[in-house]
Amino acid sequence: MLTVDKITKRFPGVIALEDVSLALEAGKITALIGENGAGKSTLMKVLSGIYQDYEGQIIFKGQVVRFSNPRDAQEQGIAIIHQELNLIPYLSITENIFLGRELITQYGTLDKRKMKLRTQELLDMLKLAVKPDTLVAGLKVGQQQVVEIAKALLTDSEVIIMDEPTSAITESEVEVLFEIINDLKKQNKAIVYVSHKLDELFRIADNYVVLRDGKSIESGKMEGITQDLLIQKMVGRSIQVQRKAVCENKEEILISVKRLFLKHPVRQKEDLLKNISFTVKKGEIVGIFGLMGAGRTELLETIFGLHPFISTSEIQIENTRVIINSPSDAIRSGLALVPEDRKKDGLVLGMDVKTNICLTTLPDLEDRGFLSDLKEKTLSEKYIDELKIKTPSPYQQAKNLSGGNQQKIVLAKWLATKPKLLLLDEPTRGIDIHAKSEIYKLISGLAEKGLGIIFVSSELPEILAVSDRVLVMAEGAITAEFSSIEATEDAILKAAIPKSVYENQL
Amino acid sequence: MNLQKYRADLIRFQSFIALFLLCLALSIMSDKFLTVSNAWNVMRQISVNICISTGMTLIVLTAGIDLSVGSVLALCGAITAGLLRNGIEFPSGNLFIGFTLFGAVVAGILTGSALGAFNGWAITKFKVPPFVATLAMLTIARGLTMLWTQGFPISGLGDTFLYFGTGWLLGIPVPVWISGTIVLIAVLITNKTRLGRYIYAIGGNESASKLSGINVSKVKITVYTIAGALAAVGGILVTSRLDSAQPNAGTSYELDSIAAVVIGGTSLSGGRGSILGTVQGAIIIGVLNNGLVLLNVSPFWQQVVKGFVILLAVIIDKSNSKND
C-alpha cells in the first residue's frame, strides 16, 4: 500500500536517514524498531509531511507522493498519533476531533448536531463509552489516545502511524488499545507501530523493520524471530541483561521507613499511600515495581520531602530519627532523588552541563562569598569523566545532549551531594539500550561502594536484573516482597495488579 | 563557519550596534544631540529607569514580573519627602518624631523593601501569579501615596537632599554614580553568587530547582524585595531631582522598565538575559526619548515610535533564538 524507496534525509552535519526503504501492507501491523537516535522519528516525520526536503520517494497507492505539510498527508490518508498527545484539554471530544475541519451548516455556523453524531459513531466503533461532549481534560490518558485514533479515522486514514502508544497507559488500557488495533487491521488499514517494548511487538505485529544508525537494517515477518535476535539487530551486537550476583553481608540498615501515609492533596479523606514500611540496607538495591498509578513516584516524593503537609511517617537513617519537610532537609539527611521526568524535573535544559552538575552543591563551591569558576569546573569535569558523559565540553547546554547523557548529568549532580541513599524513579525511561546498560553498571558500582539504592521501574526485566530485593506496590500499598532469588515475573505481576481489577477478571 | 561566528558576534552586540546607529543618526539630525551637557542630561534621566529595571531584570529572570514598581516609587519618594519635611506627629500622645536626611532615606528604602517582600510573599505563599499580585500592589501603593500626600505634592526638601538627584561628583552626576553602583552590584550578584545562579535556575526550570534543594520561595521573596528597594531608590532620585514628591509620580514607569528589560534581550519566560543587556535597553529608550524631544517630535508620536521599537526588538530577539 505504501512503499518508501531509498529515502535519505540530511541535516546540517548529520545524515539522519540513509537509503531507508520499507513497504507497508494493508491489513498488516508493521513494527518499526530501533534504538533512540536510529532515525525512527525522522522517518515518521518524512511520512507525515513534516519534512519535505528528502531524497528518494514515497509511493502511496501506486503513485509517487510528496506531502507539502502534515495536513496534506492527513488528507491523503496518512495519520500519525504522536507520543505526546495533541489534544486540547478544555475542548470536548467532538471539538477536538473536528478541529480544523469543522462541519458548517448552510448559514455558516457550526453544524454541532452532525459533528456530534459522527463523533458518536466513531466512539461506538472504537468502543469508548463516553459522551461526545465530554471534555478531553476529564479523560484518562488511554481514553485520550482513543480520541486521537478517532481523529485519524475521521479523515479515513489508510495508514496509521503510532509512536510509542503504550508509554503512558495502564496495562488494562493496553488491552483495549490492542483490541482496537486489531479491529483496524481487519478494516484493512496499514498500521505502523513504533515501540521500545519488544514483548508488545511480539503480541501484535505481523512484520518488522529494524532501523540502526539511520539505515534500514532488516525487515521481515515477526513469526519465527526471537526477542534476542531482534535486540541483536537493533544494537548491532549481542548484549545480555545479566542478573546481578546477589551480594551477601548486607546487614547494616541504612534507612527504615515506618507507617508512611500520604493524603490526596484535594480529597483529604483519601489516602494515596497507605501504611508503608520498609528498610534498605547499606549497599542494597531495592527495586520497587508497580503499575501506573500504584503510587511509586508519590512514595519517592514523600520520602524526599515534597509533600510535607499531607504526609506522616517515621523515618530513621542510620538509626537516627530524621524529619524531612523539604528537599533541602532530604539532601542534608543524605538522600538524593533522580526524578521520573528528567526534562521537567531533573535538569535546567537551557543551562550548561557544568552548571547543572553544580546546582545541588553551590554552597561548597564558593570562595569568599563568590562562586568559584575553578571549583565548579573541577567538580563537573570529575563527574563528566567518572560517569563518561559524552559532551564536547562542560559548557555545552544540557538540551543538546542525548537522553542517556542527560540522565547521567542528573545522576552526577546528585552524586556530588555525597548521598547515602539514592532514589531512582524510572532512571532508564526513554534512553537507548546501550545507555541503559551503562546506567545499570553505574548503579551496581554505587551499591558496591555502600550506597543504598531504591530503584523504581515499570519494566519487569529491568527490575529483575538490577535488584537485590523487590517490593511490589498496588493501589498505594506494598503488596509483596521478594528476594531476588524468589522473584519471578509472574509472581510480581500478580501482586502488582490492583485487587479490584484482579477480582473482576476472575 | 567563519560566517556563523560573525553572525554570533553580531547577535551578541546587536543592541550595542542599534544604540550606536541611533546615536549616529541623531547626531546628524540634531546639532544639540552630541554635546557633553546633553549626554549627562540623558544619563541623569535614565538613572531612575536603570535602578528600577535592574530589579525588574532579576524578577523577569525568575520568570516573574513586577507591575507595581511605578507606584512603589511614588510612595517611597513621598514617604522620604514627607518624613524629611514634616516628620511624624501623633496627635493623641503629643508625640513628634523628626527625621534626619539619613533616617528619611532609609525609611523610604525600607518601605520599598517591605512592599516588595509583600509581593514575594503573596506570590510564593498563595501562588498568586506575579502579574496579578503586583497589579494589586500597583493599586495599593498608589492609593497609599494619595493617602500619605492627601493628593498634594510635598516640596521644599532642602539643598542637601537635592544633591542626590541634581549634584555632581568628580564631574559625573550623582544619580549616575548611584545607578552605576547598583548595576555593578547586580552584575556581581547575577554572575558570581549563589543567589544569581539560583535566579537563573528557577527561571530556567522551577521544578528542577526545587528538587535540587533550592529554597525557591526564599529566592523569589529576596528578588521581589530587592526590586522594591530599588524602586524606592528610584523614587528618592526622582523626588530629589524635582525637589518635590508628586502623588502621581512614576505612572507607567513599569512599562518603560519592562521595555528596557525586553529590548535588552531578557526572555520574559525567564532563565535567559542579563543586567548589562537591560542597561543597554534603558539607554536605547533614554536616547530615543531625548532624540525625539530634540527633534521636536510631538509627545504623541514619541509614544508610537517607542512602541514600535519595543516590538521590533522582541521580533529580532525571537528570530535570533530560533536560529540558535
In terms of domains, do A328 and A399 share one?
no
Asked whether residue A240 is domain-assigned, the answer is: no
**Do A138 and A148 belong together in one domain?**
yes
CATH number (domain holding residue A298): 3.40.50.300
The answer on A260 and A231 residing in a single domain is no
Residues A191 and A312 placed together within one structural domain of the fold: no
The verdict on A284 and A401 lying in the same domain is no
Does B209 touch chain A if contact means CB atoms closer than 8 Å?
yes
Nearest to A428 by CA among A279, A282, A241: A241
Q: B212 CB near a chain A CB, below 8 Å?
A: yes
Q: b/e string for A11-26 if b means 16 or more Cβ within 10 A?
A: eeeeebbbebebbbee
**Interchain contact A419–B (C-beta under 8 A):** no
Q: Is residue B4 part of a domain?
A: no
- Residue B259: closest CA among B232, B289, B234: B289
Q: Do A344 and B215 touch (CB under 8 A)?
A: no
Domain annotation covers residue B9 = no
Q: Check if the beta carbon of residue B222 is closer than 8 Å to that of residue B198.
A: no
Nearest to B194 among A326, A345, A363 (CB): A363
| Domain presence at residue B111 | yes
Q: Classify residue A244: in a domain, yes or no.
A: no
In-domain check, residue A245: no
Pick from A418, A440, A462: which residue ends a domain?
Answer: A418
Total domain count for chain B?
A: 1
Instruction: Tell me whether B201 touches chain A (CB under 8 Å).
Output: yes
B8 in any annotated domain? no
Answer for the pair A150, A92: CB distance below 8 angstroms, yes or no. Answer: no
How far out from the chain centre does Cα B299 lie? 22
Nearest C-alpha in A relative to B214: A328
Chain A, window 399-418: residues with a beta carbon less than 8 angstroms from a chain B beta carbon: 413, 417
Same domain, A118 and A48: yes
- The reply to whether A217 touches chain B by the CB within 8 Å rule is no
From residue B156, give the alpha-carbon distance in Å to each of A166, A348, B140, B150, B216: 75, 52, 27, 17, 44
Q: Which residues contact A73 (CB under 8 A, 6 or more apart)?
A: A47, A48, A49, A67, A80
Q: Do B212 and A360 touch (CB under 8 A)?
A: yes
Which of A399, A418, A437 is the last residue before a domain boundary? A418
pLDDT over 70 (residue B213): yes
Q: Is residue A241 part of a domain?
A: no
Quick one: A256 and A107 in the same domain? no
A362 to B194: CB separation less than 8 angstroms, yes or no: yes
> For the residues of A160-227, what is the DSSP string, one character each?
EEEESTTTTS-HHHHHHHHHHHHHHHHTT-EEEEE-S-HHHHHHH-SEEEEEETTEEEEEEESTT--H
**Are A101 and A152 found together in one domain?**
yes
For residue B115, pLDDT beyond 60: yes
Query: What DSSP element (H or E) covers A345?
Result: none
| Window B:170-189, CB contacts with A under 8 Å | 188
To the nearest whole Å, the CA of B69 is away from the closest chain A CA by: 29
Given pLDDT bands bounded at 50, 70 and 90, which one contains residue B324?
very low
Contacts of B212 in chain A (CB under 8 A): 327, 359-360, 413
> What pLDDT is stored for residue A14 in this prediction?
65
The torsion region of residue B127 among left (phi > 0), alpha (psi -120 to 50) and beta comes to left
Q: How many residues does chain B have?
A: 324
What is the distance in angstroms between the Cα of B306 and the nearest Cα belonging to chain A?
31
Residue ending a domain, choose from A397, A418, A439: A418
Residue B239 included in any domain: yes
Q: How far apart are CA A20 and CA B71, in angstroms?
A: 64
Angstrom CA distances, B164 to A70, B241, B249, stand at 62, 7, 17
Contact A348 B208 (CB under 8 A): yes
ipTM value: 0.80
- What pLDDT shows up at residue A506? 43
Show residues of chain B in contact with A337, CB under 8 Å: 211
Q: What is the pLDDT along chain A (506 residues), one digit of tens a residue?
A: 888 888 888 776 667 788 888 888 888 899 888 766 677 878 888 888 888 888 888 888 888 888 888 888 888 888 888 777 778 888 899 988 888 888 888 888 888 889 999 999 888 888 888 889 888 888 877 788 888 888 888 888 888 888 888 776 777 778 888 888 888 888 888 999 888 777 788 888 888 888 887 787 788 888 878 777 777 777 665 444 554 555 555 678 888 888 888 888 877 777 888 889 998 988 889 999 887 778 888 899 999 999 888 888 888 898 889 999 999 999 999 999 999 888 888 899 889 899 999 999 988 888 888 988 899 999 999 999 888 888 888 888 888 887 788 889 999 999 999 999 999 998 887 777 778 888 888 898 888 888 999 999 877 778 888 888 999 988 888 888 888 888 777 778 778 776 654 444 44
A243 lies in some domain: no
Distance to chain B for A390, nearest Cα, Å? 21
Q: What is the largest CA-CA distance in chain A?
A: 80
Say whether B204 and A369 touch across the interface (CB within 8 A): no
Q: What is the pLDDT of residue B111?
A: 95
Q: What does residue A255 show for φ and ψ, rounded to 5 degrees?
A: -135, 140
A119 shares its domain with A221? yes
Residue A110 DSSP one-character state: B
Could you tell me if residue A242 is inside a domain?
no
Taking Cα atoms as reference points, which of A269, A341, A270 lies closest to residue A300? A341
- Collapsing DSSP states into helix, strand and coil, what is residue A384? helix
Best CA proximity match to A382, nearest among A406, A415, A340, A350: A415
3-class SS letters over chain B: CHHHHHHHHHHHCHHHHHHHHHHHHHHHHCCCCCCHHHHHHHHHHHHHHHHHHHHHHHHHHCCCCCCCHHHHHHHHHHHHHHHHHHCEEECCCCEEECCCHHHHHHHHHHHHHHHHHHHHHHHHHCCCCHHHHHHHHHHHHHHHHHHHHCCCCEECCCHHHHHHHHCEECCEEHHHHHHHHHHHHHHHHHHHCHHHHHHHHHHHCHHHHHHCCCCHHHHHHHHHHHHHHHHHHHHHHHHHHHCEECCCCCCCHHHHHHHHHHHCCCCCCCCCCCHHHHHHHHHHHHHHHHHHHHCCCCHHHHHHHHHHHHHHHHHHHHHHHHHC
Beta-bridge mates of residue A276:
A260
Residue with C-alpha cell 518603560? B256
A206 and A280 together in one domain: no
Range of the domain at A454: 250-334+419-506
Query: Cβ(B72)–Cβ(B115) under 8 Å?
Result: yes
CB–CB of B80/B235 below 8 Å? yes
A371 and B188: CB-CB below 8 Å? no
Q: Where does the pLDDT of residue B67 fall: very low under 50, low under 70, confident under 90, or very high at 90 and above? A: very high
**Residue B145 covered by a domain:** yes
Whole-angstrom distance, CA of residue A55 vs CA of residue A8: 5
Q: Do A347 and B205 touch (CB under 8 A)?
A: yes
Q: Is residue B71 part of a domain?
A: yes
User: Whole domain around residue B81: which residue ranges?
Assistant: 37-314
A369 and B CB contact within 8 Å: yes
Answer whether residue B186 is part of any domain: yes
CATH of the domain at B198: 1.10.3470
Give the pLDDT confidence score for residue B6 in this predicted structure: 67
Domain match, A92 and A141 both: yes
- Domain tally, chain A: 3
Q: Is A491 contained in some domain?
A: yes
CA gap A271, A325 in Å, rounded:
19
A326 has a chain B CB within 8 A of its CB: yes
Chain A residues with CB under 8 Å of B209 CB are 348, 359
Separation between Cα atoms, residue B237 and residue B243, nearest integer Å: 10
Give chain B positions within 8 Å (CB) of A327: 210-213
3-state secondary structure of A229: helix
Indicate whether A90 and A109 sit together in one domain. yes
B188, B213, B272 member nearest A327 (Cβ)? B213
Query: A416 to chain B nearest CA, in Å?
Result: 11
Cβ contact (<8 Å) for B208 and A326? no
